[in-house]
Structure 1
């Protein structure tokens, strides 16, 4: 079973939107170097990569071809989830590299939203978890029609983005309220905020990991019931 999954993953990497994945990854990385630009926008390009993989597979009848192979349906879902997980992992690698380069080069503070802090990584994991739950957790009801489910997931992504940025916007607006103080905690690189940011990061990791398992099980059940 592991061999089948790895072979299917290789198929995803070689045939499933490989060239466009490179383009979206470059876009994701480049967003971190635009002055005063929202940090959550870059990783959104990786969700486009995931969506385009489903769209490309739809036009090439990839799912019909794959299930005709001597593999189990759950292996098909597992390979696709591994591919999607790799795309999201690339988003975090891009963010980490962006963090290192911005720090070393002395980039000015991002006045459009949160900085690349530990809290940012935690919130981005939570946003990805919600996106996955809505898109990957429902797309296998009918994997040939991913568009509407992606739109719903994309809307949820930007609602979560706004919710995470609201305290930071209040902080940069110099509001004298508790919301602004929370925003300072999110985006400041002062060492006094390290512990709260680590807690946010840890919460993000737990939420992402748990939601990933739940989303996979949900998708696998849906695909088992799906009649090609």
Structure 2
């Protein structure tokens, strides 16, 4: 927890903290809700750019922490932002129902499938971004561009899938359709856990060879 506190207090870009609350955008009608995940993927980019400009790596190297712990702190920060973004979307979905917001005409609604797809998008992004960044610990822009390619492809695929007549149940709040969406949510949870774990292990191994 001390690592997370240090990251929140000193290393997190203020905009990244704002992005954590953007899960509430699901109450906005006629909005492409997969864009919310893009904000969650922008958070690590901005945070690492900010860390580079403030010499956070050098400062952390002076602390009584290992390189592995340094990487772990960044992971704890980004995972917290991404999961909090989805967590705050949960009450926002119920608020959406209370406000009687109409079904989203521009793409997928905030259904169980949406949460599952979001976890998959985060997982794939993190799997590409973090290991790429920790090759040298400085080129956050390059890492983001590379990781953004699968992220954007997945976003387009998710938004387009609900236009297929056979897949309209992905966009439905009807109880039978929500039951059909549960496996997607479970697969999303599994993918996120596995991809983040694998990403962390690769990043630690690569960062061990970086000369600060």
Residue 215 (structure 1) aligned with residue 209 (structure 2)? no
Q: Larger deviation: 61-70 or 50-59?
A: 61-70
In structure 2, the CA distance between the partners of 1:22 and 1:84, relative to structure 1 (3 Å rule), is: closer
Deviation at 1:218, TM superposition (A): 0.5
Deviation at 1:44, TM superposition (A): 1.5
- 2:16 & 2:139 partners in 1: Cα distance? 20
In structure 2, the CA distance between the partners of 1:29 and 1:124, relative to structure 1 (3 Å rule), is: closer
Residue 79 (structure 1) aligned with residue 41 (structure 2)? no
Deviation at 1:191, TM superposition (A): 1.6
Deviations along 1:128-161, one digit per CA (max 9) or x if unpaired, are 1111011012210022111011012123211101
Q: Counterpart in 1 of 2:18?
A: 23
RMSD, aligned CA: 1.5
Q: Which has the higher contact order (CA 8 A, sep 6+)?
A: 2
- 1:142 & 1:33 partners in 2: Cα distance? 40
Aligned pairs, number: 212
- 1:25 & 1:82 partners in 2: Cα distance? 14
TM-score by length of 2: 0.94
Higher CA-based Rg = 1
Q: Counterpart in 1 of 2:103?
A: 109
- 1:23 & 1:116 partners in 2: Cα distance? 20
CA contact (8 A) 1:123 1:204 kept: yes
Q: Where does structure 2 lack aligned partners over 5 or more consecutive residues?
A: none
TM-score by length of 1: 0.88
